[in-house]
Amino acid sequence: MPQPKLYESAAQRQKAYRARKSESVHFRSRSDMWVTPQDLFEELNAEFGFDLDVSALPENAKCPRFFTPKDDGLKQEWTGTCWMNPPYGRTVGKWIGKARFSAEENGATVVCLLPARTDTSWWHEQIAPYLGERVEARFLKGRLKFGDQDNSAPFPSVVVIFHGNPLKKNIALKQQARQRSVTGDNTGTSSSTGQELVPVTATSSPVQQQRKKTALPVQQHAGGRPVFTLSPLVQSGGESAARRFLEFFTVTIRNPHTRRAYYRAASALLDFCEERGVTDLKQIQPMMVAAFIETRTGEKSAPTVKQELAAIRQMFDYLVTGHVVEVNPAAAVRGPRYSVQKGKTPVLAREDARRLLASIPTVYIYKEGNAEKAVPHLVGLRDRALIALMIFSFARVGAVTKLTVGDYHQSSKKFSVGLREKGGKFHELPVHHLAEEYLDTYLKAAGIEEQKKTPLFRTSRGRSRELTERGMTSSDVLYMVKRRAKAAGLPLSTCCHTFRGTGITAYLENGGTVENAQAIASHADPRTTRLYDRRSDKITLTEIERIQL
């Protein structure tokens, strides 16, 4: 029987306790690295086909391409199909957050082997709220034997799968291919081991291979994620061409969404020309741009192609004024015709909007002994206030997520809200009495009325119905809207912009004018406002039903 340690003083005992605490990791192990069972990996690899192990040691890496602790996988970019068996220490939440971010923003599919600890904060904050179409959890029967251990692990395990966003997947893969060509890293070797790696994307073109050794560095931010990479066609013009190319995106374009879209369009054109043997920007001719637009017309929608052509024209205009090229090859190229009288945004009927607001729980009932007690449901109150504000103010979700508590204030005898719309517009509107009631109830229950500079709509801590200090993002709002719409029996196509169209249509049905609707929605052109007018839908259906056989 081991004897308890004796300490001379309480301070000595506390010091020993802190030393043991600093060495400890989850699940009572001296190490937070648990080697993946080979049979489990082979079964999952047959299903997914992994090409990247994001957390590995050189001696037990499961994929030809991998990140070691020295590489720090949390600072790397994850693309393709990734295997993740992270350290089970206190950083496990950061690894799961990185996996979810990579799936949403890079289109990566990340399969994670995790301890089945559904009582932890990382499970409730990073996994549980997102379980559904793109996030899947497979609980494993029994307990695994990790590595060469004789005994099973002291915890059950779960495989969590973050399925990649298909809209971002192709973009991320193409950016990775271009990054490899720019940095000369086409061999795909790990700096830690020198082992040859399997390329994630297709091999580079002959033009890219010729320019490996003279490539310019990739512009990066602090997280190590590439922001812009230089095509070999841009490099061929020298340092001035490279600087002018980067200036177009970083200096002349303020909106980050526009910057990303324009960069994708320019990169697609340069790839198209490079594949056809063009080696210099000055060799790009109008017929090449026209051929590119014709090809894209068969692949993308007409509005997307028109936007890409506009981006290419502006980019070459900037290169012409910087004396990089002599003429703009895209100036005379015509894009596809596109005309629309009614927008595609799904709009709810007024009774459906009322049903959605009424379906959101605002009170949480729990039992204390034999009695039932009710407390405010903060998440439900937040969601109801947010949706009502978008309906009654025609606000974009980006403007709503930027709101602070101080932006909702009393002006004269009426409460107003200050919206920061796109393009830097500050738009102040009086608040509808119903939205005002919902907002007041939410602020009072949350107890944040005096915290004027903090976010108005905050994220929740898992399923605890408690709010954090962090403001909601547009993605958070979209997930919430989808969840609430499904619970209310509304179409799955319901999205954040649905409430903008719903509010405008309801306003016009009640005698409002297009001019005033344009002012409330902060539209620059009344034709944009008319795209949200769905009053004719009911008339059209009535007339169609007159057709009798």
Q: Which range is least confidently modeled, 158-172, 319-333, 446-460?
A: 158-172
Percent of the chain with pLDDT over 90: 31
Give the model's pLDDT for residue 188. Answer: 38
Q: Report, as an integer, the average pLDDT of 109-131.
A: 89
Residues 31 and 149 in one domain: yes
Within a domain: 401? yes
| Domain-embedded: residue 189 | no
Give the span between the Cα atoms of 530 and 514, in whole angstroms.
7
| Integer Cα distance of 30 and 117 in angstroms | 19
Does residue 413 have a pLDDT over 70? no
Which of 297, 314, 339 is the last residue before a domain boundary?
339
In a domain, 412, yes or no: yes
Q: Are 321 and 383 in a shared domain?
A: no
Q: Are residues 417 and 489 in the same domain?
A: yes
Mean pLDDT of the chain: 80
Q: What is the CATH number of the domain that holds 151?
A: 3.40.50
**Cα–Cα distance for residue pair 246/408, rounded to 1 Å:** 39
Q: Considering the domain boundaries, does residue 223 fall inside one?
A: no
- Hey, what long-range contacts does 288-291 have (CB within 8 A, 24 or more apart)? 288/329, 289/329, 289/330, 289/333, 290/333, 290/334
Q: Are residues 164 and 89 in the same domain?
A: yes
Give the total number of structural domains in the chain. 3
More confident site: 302 or 1: 302
- What is the pLDDT averaged over residues 366-388? 88
- Can you give the residue range of the structural domain that contains 533? 350-544
Query: Is the pTM here over 0.75, yes or no?
Result: no
396 in the same domain as 522: yes
Q: How many C-beta atoms lie closer than 10 Å to residue 39's C-beta?
A: 10
* DSSP state letters, 242-284: HHHHHHHHHTS---HHHHHHHHHHHHHHHHHHHHTT--SGGG-
CATH of the domain at 308: 1.10.150.130
Instruction: Give the CATH number for residue 423.
Output: 1.10.443.10
Q: Are residues 286 and 411 in the same domain?
A: no
How far from the centroid of its chain's Cα atoms is residue 140's Cα? 29
Q: What is the pLDDT of residues 139-173, one digit of tens each?
A: 988 888 887 667 788 889 999 999 887 665 555 55
Q: Which residues pair with 426 in a beta bridge?
A: 420
Q: What letters, b where the CB count within 10 A reaches 16 and e where it falls short, cover 354-378?
A: eebbeebebeeeeeeeeeeeeebbb
Do 134 and 89 reside in the same domain of the chain? yes
Distance CA 44, CA 51 (A): 12
> 355 and 328, same structural domain?
no
Same domain, 387 and 513: yes
Count of other CB atoms within 10 angstroms of residue 94: 14
Where a domain ends, among 168, 195, 211?
168
Query: Does 331 share its domain with 359?
Result: no
Between 15-19, 351-355, 424-428, 466-470, the lowest mean confidence (pLDDT) is in: 15-19
Please say which residue of 339, 366, 393 terminates a domain.
Answer: 339
pLDDT higher for 53 or 194?
53
Kindly state whether residues 154 and 284 are assigned to the same domain. Answer: no
Q: Which tokens sit at 8? A: 């001379």
Q: Which whole number is the average pLDDT over 96-100?
A: 91
**Residues 442 and 421 both lie in one domain:** yes
Question: Is the pLDDT score of 126 beyond 60?
Answer: yes
Helix (H) or strand (E) holding 112: strand 109-115
| Model pLDDT, residue 148 | 66
